[in-house]
C-alpha cells in the first residue's frame, strides 16, 4: 500500500484495520504500521498492536487488537486532521464489551458484541486525532475493524448536546437499531430534534453514582459540555444494592457534587428518577414504586440545587397503571422485571421527552 497522507482536506477518510484484504475506498492499516508525519496516520506504539481476524464482512472481516489500553494510554491510532469538528464512526472487531476513548477520555461506553458500530462527534484543536479501543470488560479482546472520519465544520466545538448518565435501564445495547434489550437513553434521540441537539449516551450497566463520577464518564462530559448543553442524570438502582456500600446520604452528596461540577460549566443539569419494577402493582391494579432506588433523595436534591427534575418513577407508574400489569410486563425483557425491552425503553424515552417539553425546555418532541 503506497503511503497516503490522511490529513482531512477531503470530507471523509476511511481506514480498514488488520492484515487481510483492504476494502475498496479504504486506507489499509496493519498492526505494524507506525505513525509517520509524511503519511499522517499510524499507531503510536505498534509493538503493542496485533492483527486479528473478525467475523464480519468487508472492512469488518479483520481487525487490530490493542494489547495495552486505558483512556490515558499512549497506545493510540493517530490521524493528522485540520482543526475542526468531526464525526467519527467506529466498527469494532470481535469482542464481548469494549469502550472507545479519544483525546484521553471516553467517547463511547461499552459497545457489546462482534462488529458493533457507533459514532460520535469530537472537536480537534491540536491537529491530530488520538483514538483507541479500551476496556469495557477485562479479559476480552479490544479490537478495531474500521474507522470513518468525516469533517462537519471548521469550528472545533461540538454541536449542542444532550449528555445522559445512568445504568443498565438507560444505557445503549448493540446493534443500536435492532437490539431486543434497550435503555431509554438509547431511544431518546427519537424524541429529540436533530436540528437542535445531538445525544451522547454515557450510561453503563451496573453503574453507581460514585463509579460514574470517579470512573471516567463524568470526566468525558466535563471535557466537552458547554452552555446550551443538557446533562440528564439518572442513578440509584445499583447504589441501593448492599454490595456497593453506598448509603442514601452518600449517594445524595455524590450526586450533588456531579450536579455542581456540570452547572459550573454553564450547562443545564436535569435529574431523573428510575422507573420501578414491572411487578410493582398493588391489589387494586395501581403501580407505585416511590420508595425504590433512593428516589426521595433525588427529588430533594433537585429542589435543593434548583435543577429540573423528571420524576420518571412516578410518570412511568402512571403510564403502567393506565395499561395494566400484563401490558406492563410486555415492556420488559422476558423473565426480567427491571430491564426494559426496546418497546419499553421507547415508552420511557417518550415520557422523559414529554416531561421536559412540558417544563419548557427546548428541542424535544413526544411525536416520533
Q: Is 314 helix (H, G, I), strand (E, B) or coil?
A: helix
Measure the CA–CA gap between 101 and 103, rounded to whole angstroms.
7
Under a CB-based contact definition with an 8 Å cutoff, are residues 340 and 182 in contact? yes
Measure the CA–CA gap between 39 and 80, rounded to whole angstroms.
9
DSSP state for residue 155 in the 8-state scheme:
S
- Cα dihedral 30, 34, 36, 42, rounded to 10, equals 50
Name the burial class of residue 7, with classes exposed (0-12), middle (13-18) and buried (19+) by CB atoms within 10 angstroms of its CB.
Answer: middle
**Cα dist. 56→63, 161, 217 in Å?**
10, 32, 29
Is 168 annotated as catalytic?
yes
Measure the CA–CA gap between 133 and 64, rounded to whole angstroms.
10
Measure the CA–CA gap between 341 and 197, rounded to whole angstroms.
25
- Residues 258-269 as b or e (16 or more Cβ within 10 Å = b): bbebbeebebbb
Of the listed 61, 168, 272, 317, which one is catalytic? 168
Of the listed 21, 214, 336, 362, which one is catalytic? 336
Give the three cell numbers for residue 164.
Answer: 445522559
Active site residues: 168, 336, 339
Amino acid at each position: 500500500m503506497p503511503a497516503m497522507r490522511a490529513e482531512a482536506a477531503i470530507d471523509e477518510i476511511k481506514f480498514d484495520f488488520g492484515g487481510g484484504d483492504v476494502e475498496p475506498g479504504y486506507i489499509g492499516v496493519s498492526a505494524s504500521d507506525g505513525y509517520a508525519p509524511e503519511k499522517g496516520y499510524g499507531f503510536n506504539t505498534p509493538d503493542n498492536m496485533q492483527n486479528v481476524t473478525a467475523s464480519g464482512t468487508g472492512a469488518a472481516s479483520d481487525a487490530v487488537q490493542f494489547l495495552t489500553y486505558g483512556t490515558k494510554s499512549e497506545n493510540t491510532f493517530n490521524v493528522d486532521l485540520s482543526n475542526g469538528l468531526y464525526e467519527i464512526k467506529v466498527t469494532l472487531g470481535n469482542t464481548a464489551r469494549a469502550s472507545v476513548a479519544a483525546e484521553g477520555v471516553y467517547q463511547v461506553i461499552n459497545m457489546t458484541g462482534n462488529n458493533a458500530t457507533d459514532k460520535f462527534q469530537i472537536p480537534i484543536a491540536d491537529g491530530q486525532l488520538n483514538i483507541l479501543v479500551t476496556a469495557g470488560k477485562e479479559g476480552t479482546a479490544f479490537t478495531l475493524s474500521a474507522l470513518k472520519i468525516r469533517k462537519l465544520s471548521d469550528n472545533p466545538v461540538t454541536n449542542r448536546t444532550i449528555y445522559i448518565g445512568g445504568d443498565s435501564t438507560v444505557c445503549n445495547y448493540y446493534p443500536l437499531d435492532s437490539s431486543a434489550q434497550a435503555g431509554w437513553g438509547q431511544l431518546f434521540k427519537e424524541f429529540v430534534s436533530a436540528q437542535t441537539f445531538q445525544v451522547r449516551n454515557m450510561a453503563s450497566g451496573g453503574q453507581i453514582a460514585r463509579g460514574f463520577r470517579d470512573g471516567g464518564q463524568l470526566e468525558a462530559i466535563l471535557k466537552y459540555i458547554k452552555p446550551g448543553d443538557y446533562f440528564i442524570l439518572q442513578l440509584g438502582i445499583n447504589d441501593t444494592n448492599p454490595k456497593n456500600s453506598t448509603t442514601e446520604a452518600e449517594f445524595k452528596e455524590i450526586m450533588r457534587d456531579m450536579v455542581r461540577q456540570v452547572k459550573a460549566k454553564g450547562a443545564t443539569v436535569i435529574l431523573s428518577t428510575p422507573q420501578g419494577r414491572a411487578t410493582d402493582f398493588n391489589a387494586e391494579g395501581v403501580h407505585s414504586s416511590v420508595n425504590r432506588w433512593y428516589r426521595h433523595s433525588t427529588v430533594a436534591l433537585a429542589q435543593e440545587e434548583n435543577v429540573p427534575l423528571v420524576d420518571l418513577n412516578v410518570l412511568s407508574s402512571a403510564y403502567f397503571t393506565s395499561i395494566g400489569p400484563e401490558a406492563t410486563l410486555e415492556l420488559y425483557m422476558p423473565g426480567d422485571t427491571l430491564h426494559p425491552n426496546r418497546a419499553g425503553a421507547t415508552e420511557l424515552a417518550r415520557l422523559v421527552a414529554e416531561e421536559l417539553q412540558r417544563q419548557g425546555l427546548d428541542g424535544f418532541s413526544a411525536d416520533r
